Amino acid sequence: MNKEADQDIDFQEICFGLNRETDERSLAIFLQLFSKDELLQTLIPRFGDDEIIQLVDQLTTVLRNHLQEDEYHELFLGDPDHHH
């Protein structure tokens, strides 16, 4: 994530529980903050082996439950030419 993108993210806009629209916007901001390179470089080495497996399993389940195969390849993997 580049520095310009970081400036567009306002953690003060995160608020859950008011309504679906706010929850969705807050989740997007939360995930953008979570995926910042500096945070991941600090956090990941501190994960235990079980935490890594649990997190990967949970995220994979979310992808599997909510994306079709072509969406998975295009949106997640960045492979728009995948043909199955």
For residues 54 and 28, membership in a common domain is answered with no
For residues 2 and 41, membership in a common domain is answered with yes
Does pLDDT of 1 surpass 50?
no
Domain residue limits at 34: 1-45
Cα 12 → chain centroid: 18
Mean pLDDT of the chain: 90
For residues 40 and 2, membership in a common domain is answered with yes
Does pLDDT of 4 surpass 60?
no
Count of structural domains, the chain: 2
For residues 5 and 20, membership in a common domain is answered with yes
Q: What percent of the chain has pLDDT over 70?
A: 89
Q: Which of 11-15, 20-24, 38-42 is predicted least confidently? A: 11-15
- DSSP state for residue 15 in the 8-state scheme: -
For residues 51 and 40, membership in a common domain is answered with no
Which residue type is seen at 82?
Answer: H
For residues 41 and 55, membership in a common domain is answered with no
Reduced to 3 states, what is the DSSP secondary structure of residue 32?
helix
For residues 79 and 52, membership in a common domain is answered with yes
For residues 41 and 52, membership in a common domain is answered with no
